Amino acid sequence: MSYSLGIDAGGTYTDAVLLKDDDNTIIQSSKALTSYPNPLDGIKQSIDSLDPICLQKVKVVSVSTTLSTNSILEGTGSPVAMILIGNYDIKQELPTRHYLQITGGHDHNGIETNDLDIESIKSFALAVKDKVSAFAISSYFSVRNHDHELRAKELILELTGRPVVCSYELSQDLGAFERAVTAFLNAQLIPVTERFMKTVEAEIKSRGIDAKIFMLKCDGSVIGIQSALKKPIESIFSGPAGSLVGASFLSKKETCAVIDVGGTSTDISVIYNGVPEMSDSGAVVGGWKTRVKAIRMETSAMGGDSHVWVKGKDISIGPRRVIPLSRAAVLYPDFLEQLTTNPIPPKIRLGINYQPTKFYLRTDYETLEASDEEKEVLAAVKMHPTSTTEIFNQIKKYPSSKVLDSLIQKRLLQPIGFTLTDALHVLGEYTERDVEAANIGADVLGSLADMDKYEFASHVKKEFAKNMACDLISFFLEGVDKEEIRKIFDIQSPAKFKVEVPVVLIGGPVAAFVEDLQEILDAEIILPEYSSVGNAAGALAAKGIRRFEVLIRPASMAAPDWEFLVFSEHGKSNFYEYQEALDYAVTMGETTVLSYMKDAGLDSNHIKIDVKKEEIIPLGWKTPMETKLVVLGVGNRNVDQDCY
């Protein structure tokens, strides 16, 4: 008998599930706190709670994570330099201040429009190499010819040794700026993903488990670990994808909506007849539109560990994730006393970074770039909870909120604060950690808002439930202003929104919200068994999918039957016969898909390949003006396991 192991490393918890392969049933699950900045301890603890005898019979390990998504949402990814080659019309702020725009690029037929400015690339790379962890390159029409991206990549690797990501490697869609952002985010996530996947791989091997390791992608499919390391951007929504596939698997509902509440974010998605609804355009995360194929979803920076803070009489939730007070009290023995004696900051300073319940920890991330003031604050913060008052006593002044923000974004500081998790501890609905710390925090913050601790905790929970319902309705009512939808939930009325598909709840704290959502919405609310580890279950329920896209066009519209160009992720090829070009494209697609499946460790005997062709043939033309091919391969990870 063989087993499969699913692991999900979220912002708060790392979950693990054991699945028996012969009947596709979960036999055991476990949860452990996610460890920062190294996730190893959380992974170890989650696996340690599982049956060691069954673990030795594990043949497949599949992993999902929200760490990449959280890095983008929180703006805490590694610093990256961006190079834009060609005639970009930049009308919005770039995601980095380290960028270069130079001449070069190609036209729609892949013909060079300008020479590549090699000297500017050299000067820029040498100037910023010690300030960034990676480079992202995007060239105009690189989907038609990626020669300039490759030449720039080779030069930067030679000069800096830093990782380099090209936009053509990630997407074959038009949209030069969106491809540039995709390459940037991918480069930003390389260190995070590499650390995470190598940690998982080392831990599995250290236990003597001989298993294939997969990672869940944001389209609900799985890929091999090596492919995941090359394209970490494809894992940005692997957590939500896992929850969607896992919710359908656990609830046995092939059609359902899913609300997944994690530590950092709440994600809404839907699956119809067992197939995740895909986004028509690239995934949007952290306000940036990408060219990454992903499930369609609504995500908000509001989770169980979102910071709850008070300014005046206003109570705000999020957007940043913090360590809950109830968890900090378990991790640091002296924290309760610190929390009890910490003075309330002056009213003029009260804000997201200045709260009587806000503390900071120094992480072990490398300081690549910091101002003198940032270095001064870092020197005052210890590896144990440090209040702003203690920082003041060290440096003889209050650090600016802007400096604290910057250090958090660079992952050099980890904040502690009051959260929804703490509110649930106060209400007795979730008591896994230190209840006293949560009560102290609610007492202090409640007093600022003229509430007792129970009123304060209840208010936080109700607002969170309304936000969840708003996210769900906003998902279905595309084009309707979300703020206007949210206002409706504050109106006392017998009218309710009706949702005609079942709504499945996934995530650690969701059991506390079943009744709240039933009061707010007219919908079937489902809390399946193992809902708290739904993402880990989804990592095991997914299949391997590889999509390969090809475009065939005449080299000249004036002589459409004379020469044909074939564009793909492998570059540009020329043919004089249309059928020859078509045969080449199909063969190349099938070969690429099979090679991918083999490299990913998928069983070649259980791979299905479909070829879809779309043609545009104007009246009177003998051959198509444009042919789009999509070669889609679907495979199982285990010959003995007919995965969902």
Specify whether 103 is located in the same domain as 44.
no
pLDDT in tens, 251-263: 989 899 999 887 7
Residue 143: give its domain's CATH number.
Answer: 3.40.50
d(CA 333, CA 331): 7
Q: How confident is the model at residue 284 (pLDDT cuts 50, 70, 90)?
A: low
Specify whether 26 is located in the same domain as 95.
no
Residue 14 has pLDDT above 70, yes or no: yes
Specify whether 175 is located in the same domain as 185.
yes
pLDDT in tens, 517-555: 999 999 999 999 888 888 788 777 766 667 788 999 898
Whether residue 364 is contained in a domain is answered as no
Question: Which pair of structure tokens corresponds to residue 96?
Answer: 């980095």
Residue 71 near residue 11, CB atoms below 8 Å: no
What counts of helices (H) and strands (E) characterise the chain?
20, 31
d(CA 25, CA 30): 15
Residue 33: which of 8, 9, 13, 6 has the closest Cα?
Answer: 13
Specify whether 81 is located in the same domain as 187.
yes
Pairing of strands 284-285, 314-321: unpaired
Whether residue 570 is contained in a domain is answered as yes
Specify whether 164 is located in the same domain as 214.
no
User: Which residue, chain included where needed, has tokens 């540039």?
Assistant: 180
Specify whether 62 is located in the same domain as 106.
no
- What mean pLDDT value characterizes the chain? 83
pLDDT at 232: 52
Residue 500 burial (CB count, 10 A): 10
Whether residue 138 is contained in a domain is answered as yes
pLDDT at 189: 72
Pairing of strands 288-289, 607-616: unpaired
Between 416 and 170, where is the model more confident?
A: 416
Residue 296 near residue 409, CB atoms below 8 Å: no
CA distances (Å), origin 569, targets 551, 565, 585: 10, 13, 11
Residue 10 has pLDDT above 60, yes or no: yes
Structurally, the chain folds into a number of domains equal to 3
Question: Which pair of structure tokens corresponds to residue 316?
Answer: 């705000």
Residue 642 has pLDDT above 60, yes or no: no
Whether residue 517 is contained in a domain is answered as no
pLDDT in tens, 360-396: 999 887 776 778 888 888 888 888 899 988 898 888 8
Q: How confident is the model at residue 587 (pLDDT cuts 50, 70, 90)?
A: very high
Domain end call among 500, 526, 541: 541
Q: How confident is the model at residue 639 (pLDDT cuts 50, 70, 90)?
A: very low
Specify whether 155 is located in the same domain as 179.
yes
- The parent domain of residue 594 ranges over 544-635
d(CA 276, CA 294): 9
